[in-house]
C-alpha cells in the first residue's frame, strides 16, 4: 500500500483544466519527481495537496486517510511539509525564528502561560530549540542563526526554507523546484542533502524539478505531466527514452 496516493484529481479554473484526472501513488521512502513543461500543472498539484486549491474532483490519501477535506493548517500536523517555488520565508525575522515556527504544530502552551512566560513555556522553547539545532547542523546553517532573512543570499534562503520544512518532523516532504536559482555547487550539495533526508531521516520526498541531470541523479521514480495530464511515469531511464516526453519537451 502506498504512503501517499492521489486518485483522479481534476482541478478546473473556469474552462481551463489545470489538472485532468491525475492519479499516482508514492511509496514510503521514495524520492518521487514530477516533471513537465511550464503550465503542466505541477505547482497546482502541490497546492491541491497542501489544500490551498480545492480540487473539482478526486481524492487524496495519506497513510490511508482521506485528506481531501482536511483544513489547510492541519496538513502539517499529519506530517506533510512543503517548500515554495518562489520562497515564502518570514523576511523580517531571523533564521532562528523562521525555523522555530517549524515547530509550531507541537505547541502546548496557551495564551495565559505565554503572557506570564511560565517555566513550561520556557521548557517548550528549549525543546523546540533542540530540534531546530539538529536541523541547523544537518543543513550547515550555523553561521546564519541570528541573521535576518532579508540579508541572506538566495541560495541560503532556499536552504532555510528546506530547514524550516524539516523542523516540522515530516513524513512526507514536498519540494517545489528546490534547485531553481542555485549555483552548480549548491545544486550538487542539495542532491546529497536530499539523498540524506531520504536515507538518514527516512522521509519520503515528492519533488518538482526542471534540472534533468539533477532529477536523474536523485529520483527513484518520475512522473511526467503535460497540460494537466499524465504523459508517463516510471524509472528515470524509462522516462528519458519515452517518446511522449521527448515530444512534449522538444517537439517533433
Options 98-106, 185-193, 201-209, 237-245: segment touching other proteins (CB under 8 A) = 98-106
Rule CB under 8 A: which of 57-86 touch other proteins? 71-77, 81-82, 84-86
Taking the least distance from each CB to other proteins, the nearer of 30 and 177 is 177
Single out the residue of 1, 15, 64, 126 in contact with other proteins (rule: CB under 8 A): 126
* Cβ neighbour number for residue 97 with a 10 Å cutoff: 15
Residue span 219-238 as binding mask against other proteins, x where in contact by CB under 8 A, dash where not:
--------------------
What stretches of 83-223 show up as alpha helix (H) in DSSP? 95-101, 111-115, 119-138, 154-167, 184-199, 212-218
CA distances from 149 to 28, 95, 102, 221 (A): 33, 6, 15, 34
Options 105-113, 198-206, 209-217, 235-243: segment touching other proteins (CB under 8 A) = 105-113
Taking the least distance from each CB to other proteins, the nearer of 36 and 245 is 36
Single out the residue of 19, 31, 95, 96 in contact with other proteins (rule: CB under 8 A): 96
Measure the CA–CA gap between 252 and 156, rounded to whole angstroms: 40
Site size with other proteins, rule: CB under 8 A: 50
When asked if residue 111 is in the footprint of other proteins (CB under 8 A), the reply is: yes
Measure the CA–CA gap between 188 and 137, rounded to whole angstroms: 18
Sheet of 229-234: strand order equals 80-82, 172-176, 204-208, 31-35, 221-226, 229-234
In the complex, minimum distance from the CB of residue 164 to other proteins, in angstroms, rounded to a whole number = 7
The string of DSSP letters for 97-116 reads: HHHHHTTGGG----HHHHHT
- Grid cell of 237 as nine digits: 531511464
Taking the least distance from each CB to other proteins, the nearer of 96 and 203 is 96
Taking the least distance from each CB to other proteins, the nearer of 72 and 202 is 72
User: Is the dihedral angle over the CA atoms 232, 234, 236, 242 positive or is it negative?
Assistant: negative
Single out the residue of 11, 26, 48, 50 in contact with other proteins (rule: CB under 8 A): 50
Rule CB under 8 A: which of 157-216 touch other proteins? 164, 168
Pairing of strands 4-13, 65-66: unpaired
Tell which residue, 84, 8, 6, 28, has the closest CA to residue 205. 28
When asked if residue 143 is in the footprint of other proteins (CB under 8 A), the reply is: no
Taking the least distance from each CB to other proteins, the nearer of 143 and 235 is 143
Residues that bind other proteins (CB under 8 A): 43, 47, 50, 52, 71-77, 81-82, 84-93, 96-97, 100-105, 107, 109, 111, 114-117, 121-122, 124-126, 128-130, 150-151, 164, 168
Amino acid at each position: 500500500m502506498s504512503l501517499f496516493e492521489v486518485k483522479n484529481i481534476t482541478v478546473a479554473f473556469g474552462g481551463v483544466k489545470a489538472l485532468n484526472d491525475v492519479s499516482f501513488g508514492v511509496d514510503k521512502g521514495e524520492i518521487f519527481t514530477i516533471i513537465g513543461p511550464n503550465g503542466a500543472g505541477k505547482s497546482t498539484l502541490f497546492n491541491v495537496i497542501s489544500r490551498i486549491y480545492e480540487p473539482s474532483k478526486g481524492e487524496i490519501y495519506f497513510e490511508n486517510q482521506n485528506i481531501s477535506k482536511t483544513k489547510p493548517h492541519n496538513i502539517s500536523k499529519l506530517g506533510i511539509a512543503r517548500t515554495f517555488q518562489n520562497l515564502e520565508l518570514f523576511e523580517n525575522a531571523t533564521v532562528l525564528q523562521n525555523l522555530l515556527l517549524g515547530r509550531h504544530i507541537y505547541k502546548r502552551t496557551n495564551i495565559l502561560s505565554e503572557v506570564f512566560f511560565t517555566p513550561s513555556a520556557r521548557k517548550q522553547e528549549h525543546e523546540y530549540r533542540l530540534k531546530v539545532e539538529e536541523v541547523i547542523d544537518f543543513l550547515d546553517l550555523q553561521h546564519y542563526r541570528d541573521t535576518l532573512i532579508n540579508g541572506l543570499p538566495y541560495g541560503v534562503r532556499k536552504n532555510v526554507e528546506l530547514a524550516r520544512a524539516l523542523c516540522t518532523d515530516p513524513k512526507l516532504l514536498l519540494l517545489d523546484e528546490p534547485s531553481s536559482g542555485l549555483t552548480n555547487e549548491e545544486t550538487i550539495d542539495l542532491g546529497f542533502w536530499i539523498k540524506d533526508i531520504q536515507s538518514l531521516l527516512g522521509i519520503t520526498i515528492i519533488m518538482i524539478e526542471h534540472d534533468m541531470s539533477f532529477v536523474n541523479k536523485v529520483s527513484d521514480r518520475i512522473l511526467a505531466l503535460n497540460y494537466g495530464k499524465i504523459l508517463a511515469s516510471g524509472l528515470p531511464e524509462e522516462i528519458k527514452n519515452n517518446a511522449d516526453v521527448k515530444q512534449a519537451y522538444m517537439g517533433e
